[in-house]
Amino acid sequence: MVPRKIRRFRPSIFPAKGERMLLNRSRALEIMEKNDLVALVATAPENVAYLTGFWVLTHWRHRGRQVYAILSRDDGNADLVISRGLVDHPLQGGTWVRRYYLYGEFFFAPTPLEAIDSESRALFQSLGKAPHHPTALDALLHCLRDRKIEKGRIGVDQGGDLVFLGNSLVQAMPALEPVPAYELFRQIRLIKTSEEIRRIQEATRIAEEALTAAIQAIAEGVREKELDLIFKERVIQKGGYPTLSWIGAGPRGAFPNVEPSDRKIRPGDAVRFDVGCIYQAYHADIARTAVLGKPSAKQRQYHDALVAGEERLLEAFRPGAAVADLFRMGMEEVRAKGIPHYQRHHLGHGTGIEGYDPPLLTGNSPLRLEPGMVFCVETPYYEPGFGGLHIEDIVAVTAEGCRLLTQMDRRLFVIPEGG
């Protein structure tokens, strides 16, 4: 049952699909002003995507690649420093970059522009117009000079930096004062835009459909790896990219980061699913538990307690609520409803362009809820020898309270033996 203060997601509340901006501009400007920064330079794939919309698997797989996004306080759109061999990705669409600065070499066979198709022609004409430099640093310095950023404090995201980029910038521009900015990016991303929430919602929908298919496939003798494959195949079919697939049956469900194995599911096994995916760079992370055959009294009691704790916590989700108080409420409810020894270091985490976006839902958090925060709220239980039980939902804080983005029932899914 949905807690009374939580509204289910309604697609009509979001803007048209044409509005794709991820960046929370007003919050970025506020944090830049507060920290006296004239500009921000993103280096980590997550932060580059957040500023520009540029998200491509090769950048995430090879995190040492030098791709930078530059946002100044006086311009709402970022510039992108990118290698010539990667630039066809953003030029194909899906970004809102002000200007491209290319570096390095990449070779195409010579072909007259009039002899090629219109899409290729537009792409290669754009390549010819973009400034081209020998190194990423040269391209970045050109961009900063174009923006007249040659002195003052500049925040440099060290999250994707093999060697802190700020040191090189100071050598070329001694009047600059680079400061580490990875945590500043995370502060900006704390409050999601409507487009970010739309993407999280779609990732959640895909993950739920895939998880439902995996639960429906549970039967005696089915292997954990088979359920894993079903989940991942369905995610891909629906347009997502699987990122998280922790599926453990019986005692293996107590392994928090369980890798699906060849273990066959047996009657009485609780199968714990903690799964997720990416949709257009944004993460969903959800969890449910199923039992093959009749659940034991302990399985029922403990699962009911976990659901009660999560629902008590969600009922109190509203702007101004202290994160530490929410943690305390959830813990107290789980203990009161049937697991008196329950212990957790957190009961959830933010989600967004990182799977663990801020904040953590902990007992020592100083934060209060604000509209635009998005959480994965969870009450997992791991007992060696017994197994694992898990419930996890995604919720967005609104001006009125909160909106539950997950749609799946929270019940303990009971799979009859023999089909």
Q: So where are the chain's domains?
A: 25-189, 194-415
pLDDT at 17: 34
* pLDDT cut 70: percent of the chain above it: 92
Give CA angle at 77 (149, 240), nearest 5°: 130
Q: How far is Cα of residue 165 from the mean position of the Cα atoms in its chain?
A: 25
Task: Name the band, by pLDDT with cuts 50, 70 and 90, for residue 4.
Answer: very low
Q: What's the pLDDT at 9? A: 31
Give yes or no for a contact between 391 and 288, defined as CB atoms under 8 angstroms apart.
yes
Q: How many Å apart are CA 344 and CA 328, to the nearest integer?
A: 10
DSSP structure class, residue 213: H
Quote the pLDDT of residue 87: 80
Report the phi/psi class of residue 285: left, alpha or beta, with left for phi > 0 and alpha for psi in -120 to 50.
beta
Given a cut of 70, whether residue 13 has pLDDT beyond it is: no
Rg (CA), the chain: 24
Cα distance between residue 111 and residue 126, in whole Å: 15
The answer for residues whose C-beta is within 8 angstroms of residue 15's C-beta and 6 or more apart is 194, 195
Element of type H or E holding 407: none
Mean pLDDT of 207-226: 98
pLDDT above 80 for 8: no
**Kind of pairing between the strands at 402-404 and 392-397:** antiparallel
Cis bond leading into 359, ω under 30°?
Answer: yes
The answer on pLDDT for 63 being more than 60 is no
List, for residues 104-134, the tens digit of each pLDDT value: 887 777 778 788 888 888 777 777 777 789 9
Interacting residues of 11 by C-beta distance below 8 A, sequence separation 6+: 201
Q: How many CB atoms lie within 10 A of CB 288?
A: 26
pLDDT at 6 over 60: no
Nearest to 152 by CA among 137, 164, 169: 169
Q: Does residue 161 surpass a pLDDT of 80?
A: no
Q: Tell me how many degrees the CA angle 139-143-147 measures, rounded to the nearest 5.
A: 170
Quick one: average pLDDT of 259-288?
97
Average the pLDDT over 140-166 and give the result.
88
What is d(CA 198, CA 202) in angstroms, rounded to the nearest whole number?
A: 6
pLDDT digits (tens, 9 = 90+) for 320-359: 999 999 999 999 999 999 999 999 999 999 999 999 999 9
Tell me if 25-189 shares its fold with 194-415.
Answer: no
| Fold of domain 194-415 | Creatine Amidinohydrolase (3.90.230)
CA–CA separation, 414 and 100 (whole Å): 54
User: Does domain 25-189 sit in CATH 3.30.70.270?
Assistant: no
- Residues counted in the chain: 419
What single DSSP character describes residue 399? S
Average pLDDT over residues 193-203: 97
Task: With beta carbons less than 8 A apart as the criterion, state whether 162 and 62 touch.
Answer: no
397 by DSSP, 3-state: which?
strand
Which residues, at least 6 apart from 49, have a Cβ–Cβ distance to it below 8 Å?
22, 55, 281, 353
